[in-house]
């Protein structure tokens, strides 16, 4: 993700848009689940034999939308194509994450091997789908329909739940699909068009995530014009980082954004990307994040960007940070200790 350190307090404050990079791996592996195996009501992550029979019905993602405990997610280098860094994060955190986020460039095939890896780890895969090569106007016009339909058919064929965030941080100016090159109306049209094509293909295994950045770096950009509508969104995925300068509490970092959003939707909210920049304040930032989430029942979890990229966001950037994260993650309200039945 872009960082604009020259704007110091403003940009470092809210977004510090952590470096989204594409970890793309093409794959067409079929995942076969046991006939009649139902989702666990809490998370739905149950391992299935590789050679089982495909179920006749599409996977029902509804039990995953409002979990009984909060999601503890991570984005890590190479994951979930490789789970090595997720394992390292779990060891440091003292708890296995149950959601793994990764980034996919527009034009990539649906990464079935990566999705299956996350699922077999007992974690929900979460894809940030980044339309770098085509404009939102082109996507909405139908010129990309063959690609979108092929992607949707792959999602349907694999028949595993996946969260997808299309064109995240659209209310910022740092991406090609952001405010400098696209309008709110173009974003809404493209988002709805992609969603509609998935529905037409019967790819109902998707949890659709609408992911604005916190408004701090772009306070004059209103969020409501970017809202696709209740029928098009399952989760609101707010993105915001605790930078060395700027908002230092859950309330000041996420509160203004949440206030705007709650004026037009009550959909479940997840912190789709967050982390704290290395420094003396990091343990306090980690505590703020966990305690803030614990105090908000409508926020169902967060994804920690555990990558050293332009800043060291990893929970292991210092011993006090690692210790604090481990202590906070031990709270039984966060994450799931899922075992194979």
| Phi/psi at 302 (5° precision) | -150, 160
| CB-CB contact of 317 with 244 (8 Å) | no
How far apart are alpha carbons 293 and 44 in whole angstroms? 22
Tokens of 287: 């505590």
Q: Which residue from 175, 190, 189 is spatially nearest to 103, judged by alpha carbons?
A: 175
Its domain, for residue 168, covers 5-329
Residues 143-183 pLDDT 10s: 999 999 999 999 999 999 999 999 999 999 999 999 999 99
> What is the 8-class DSSP label of residue 31?
-
How far apart are alpha carbons 101 and 237 in whole angstroms? 12
Residues 225-251 pLDDT 10s: 999 999 999 999 999 999 988 899 999
pLDDT for the residue numbered 245: 87
Percent of the chain with pLDDT over 90: 78
| CB-CB contact of 18 with 309 (8 Å) | yes
> What is the 8-class DSSP label of residue 177?
T
How far apart are alpha carbons 175 and 285 in whole angstroms? 27
pLDDT for the residue numbered 136: 98
pLDDT at position 27 over 60: no
pLDDT for the residue numbered 46: 40
The H helix count followed by the E strand count for the chain is: 10, 8
Q: Across the chain, which distance is largest between two alpha carbons, in Å?
A: 56
Task: Please state the rounded mean pLDDT for residues 19-30.
Answer: 34
* Active-site amino acid positions: 169, 273
Task: Please state the rounded mean pLDDT for residues 29-54.
Answer: 35
* 79 within a domain of the structure (yes/no): yes
Half-sphere exposure of 32 (CA within 13 A, CB side): 7
Tokens of 78: 């190479």
Q: What secondary structure, in 3-state letters, does 177-212 show?
A: CCCCCCCHHHHHHHHHHHHHHHHHHCCCCEEEEECC
pLDDT classification of 7: cutoffs 50, 70, 90: very low
* 340 within a domain of the structure (yes/no): no
Q: Which residue from 135, 143, 159 is spatially nearest to 34, judged by alpha carbons?
A: 159
Task: Please state the rounded mean pLDDT for residues 277-299.
Answer: 96
How far apart are alpha carbons 242 and 277 in whole angstroms? 6
- Among 35-39, 53-57, 206-210, 275-279, the range scoring the smallest mean pLDDT is 35-39
Query: Facing residues of 111 across strands?
Result: 27
How far apart are alpha carbons 327 and 319 in whole angstroms? 12
* 96 within a domain of the structure (yes/no): yes
pLDDT for the residue numbered 326: 96
Task: Please state the rounded mean pLDDT for residues 42-54.
Answer: 41
| Other beta carbons less than 10 A from residue 51's beta carbon | 7
Q: Which residue from 22, 6, 7 is spatially nearest to 309, judged by alpha carbons?
A: 22
* 275 within a domain of the structure (yes/no): yes
How far apart are alpha carbons 66 and 41 in whole angstroms? 10
pLDDT for the residue numbered 336: 58
Residues 56-88 pLDDT 10s: 799 999 999 999 899 999 999 999 999 999 999
3-class DSSP state for residue 272?
strand
pLDDT for the residue numbered 324: 98
Q: Which residue from 292, 31, 327 is spatially nearest to 157, judged by alpha carbons?
A: 31
How far apart are alpha carbons 208 and 40 in whole angstroms? 20
* 339 within a domain of the structure (yes/no): no
pLDDT at position 315 over 70: yes
pLDDT classification of 339: cutoffs 50, 70, 90: very low
* 341 within a domain of the structure (yes/no): no
| Other beta carbons less than 10 A from residue 251's beta carbon | 13
Indicate the pTM of the whole model.
0.85
pLDDT for the residue numbered 335: 74
* 334 within a domain of the structure (yes/no): no
The count of structural domains within the chain is 1
Residues 186-226 pLDDT 10s: 999 999 999 999 999 999 999 999 999 999 999 999 999 99
Q: Any idea what the CATH number is for the domain that residue 17 is in?
A: 3.20.20.80
């Amino acid at each position: 993700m872009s960082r604009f350190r020259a704007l110091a307090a403003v940009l470092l404050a809210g977004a510090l848009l952590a470096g989204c990079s594409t970890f793309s791996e093409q794959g067409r592996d079929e995942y076969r689940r046991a006939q009649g195996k139902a989702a666990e009501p809490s998370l739905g992550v149950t391992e299935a034999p590789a050679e089982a029979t495909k179920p006749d019905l599409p996977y029902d993602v509804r039990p995953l939308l409002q979990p009984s405990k909060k999601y503890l997610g991570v984005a890590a280098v190479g994951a979930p194509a490789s789970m090595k860094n997720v394992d390292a994060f779990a060891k440091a955190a003292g708890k296995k994450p149950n959601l793994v986020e990764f980034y996919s460039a527009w034009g990539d095939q649906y990464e079935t091997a990566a999705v299956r890896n996350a699922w077999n780890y007992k974690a929900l895969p979460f894809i940030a789908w980044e339309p770098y090569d085509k404009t939102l106007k082109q996507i909405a016009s139908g010129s990309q329909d063959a690609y979108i339909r092929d992607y949707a058919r792959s999602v349907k064929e694999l028949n595993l739940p996946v969260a997808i965030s299309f064109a995240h941080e659209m209310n910022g100016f740092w991406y090609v699909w952001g405010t400098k090159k696209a309008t709110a109306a173009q974003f809404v049209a493209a988002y709805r068009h992609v969603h509609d094509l998935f529905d037409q293909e019967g790819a109902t295994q998707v949890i659709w995530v609408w992911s604005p950045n916190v408004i701090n770096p772009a306070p004059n950009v209103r969020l409501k014009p970017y809202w696709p509508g209740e029928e098009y969104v399952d989760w609101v995925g707010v993105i915001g980082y605790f930078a060395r300068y700027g908002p230092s509490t859950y309330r000041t970092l996420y509160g203004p954004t949440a206030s705007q959003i709650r004026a037009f939707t009550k959909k479940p909210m997840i912190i789709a990307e967050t982390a704290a920049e290395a420094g003396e304040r990091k343990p306090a930032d980690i505590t703020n994040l966990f305690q803030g989430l614990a105090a908000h029942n409508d926020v169902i979890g967060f994804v920690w960007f555990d990558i050293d990229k332009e800043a060291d966001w990893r929970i292991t950037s210092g011993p006090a940070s690692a210790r604090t994260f481990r202590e906070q993650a031990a709270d039984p309200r966060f994450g799931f200790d899922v075992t194979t039945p």
